[in-house]
Amino acid sequence: MIRQLVQETEHRLLEPICEFRQEDGYTVFKSEKFPNFWGGNGLRLIRSENRSLDDWEDTFNKHFDSNVFSHKTFSFEEKREFEYLVNEASSKNYKIEITTSMMVTNDLKSEPLSGDFAIHRVETEEDWNRLRIFYDDTSKDEDWYEASVGTRELFDKLRYTSESIGIEWFYISQSGCNNILAKAGIFKHGDICRLQDVATSKPWRRQKLASMLVSFLIRRALEDTDGLACVAVADYYAIDLYRNLGFQECGNSVCMMKYPQHLPPSSQNADRQ
């Protein structure tokens, strides 16, 4: 049940920008508006049908014009039937990312907010501009960042999606300031809330800022819903933050992504959007 709810929030995040097309054994999700959002343009596999990766790539090419969509993205639940595809993808220079669906239903382990810091909601155009600068700066440390493009298109995607489905954004700053040190989004889906895109400025990492901010959002979510869900990268250190705050794991998904050839070798990794 929890796994299904978390998957529904994933679908909701894509609804404002993607068209979905159900095919036999897979779903196509495509964003004509944001073709460089590689995580938002791909195939969600329902059944493997023992088809080779070459075969699935041919299927991808039938739905995505290679002149516009110069990547490959496949996702599916982590199941034994897909193991051979993961092995094939690993040998073909794909980035394999496993994400874990998580949920917390109480604030017993929440981190209290230190008096040295304050939490603000993004409301004004000045707030959005400040968030854009923070987003671009912190993204330089991410695998998918491409310096020649920056994150302009992806931030526009983030704001468009936020305004479409009601994602509220909050950030933590030093008391008496409005400098963004860490930020996160939250939106409601049925009886739960979903946490989205937690990030901390590099000089301030490992100082419990994200824990304080997420704890604040846990308490906010529990005011009128049954819990707060998130999707975390399984081998990324931040997953320990969620575990320490009481999030329980409820299933894994796999994303296999092959980046456009023009990206530098250092960028041949997963899009953490």
Q: Does the residue 180 lie in any domain?
A: yes
Examine the domain organization and report whether 40 and 141 are in the same domain.
no
Examine the domain organization and report whether 70 and 169 are in the same domain.
no
Q: From CA 251, how far away is CA 175, in angstroms rounded?
A: 38
Residues in contact with 222: Cβ distance below 8 Å, sequence separation at least 6, in sequence order? 105, 106, 107, 228
Domain of residue 12 covers 2-104+254-267
pLDDT in tens, the chain (273 residues): 778 889 999 999 999 999 999 999 999 999 998 888 889 999 999 999 999 999 999 999 999 999 999 899 999 999 999 999 999 999 999 999 999 999 999 999 999 999 999 999 999 999 999 999 998 888 776 655 555 554 566 788 899 999 999 999 999 999 999 899 999 999 999 999 999 999 999 999 999 999 999 999 999 999 999 999 999 999 888 899 999 999 999 999 999 999 886 554 433 333 333
Examine the domain organization and report whether 241 and 260 are in the same domain.
no
Q: Does the residue 64 lie in any domain?
A: yes
Number of structural domains the chain divides into: 2
Examine the domain organization and report whether 79 and 205 are in the same domain.
no
pTM (two decimals): 0.90
Q: From CA 52, how far away is CA 257, in angstroms rounded?
A: 16
What is the token pair recorded at 127?
Answer: 């707030």
Residue 151, φ and ψ in degrees, nearest 5 = -115, 20
Q: Does the residue 272 lie in any domain?
A: no
What is the token pair recorded at 32?
Answer: 């004509």
Within its chain, how far is the Cα of 3 from the centroid? Answer: 16
Examine the domain organization and report whether 84 and 15 are in the same domain.
yes
Examine the domain organization and report whether 195 and 228 are in the same domain.
yes
Examine the domain organization and report whether 149 and 28 are in the same domain.
no
What is the token pair recorded at 107?
Answer: 């604030």
Give the domain CATH number at 148.
Answer: 3.40.630.30
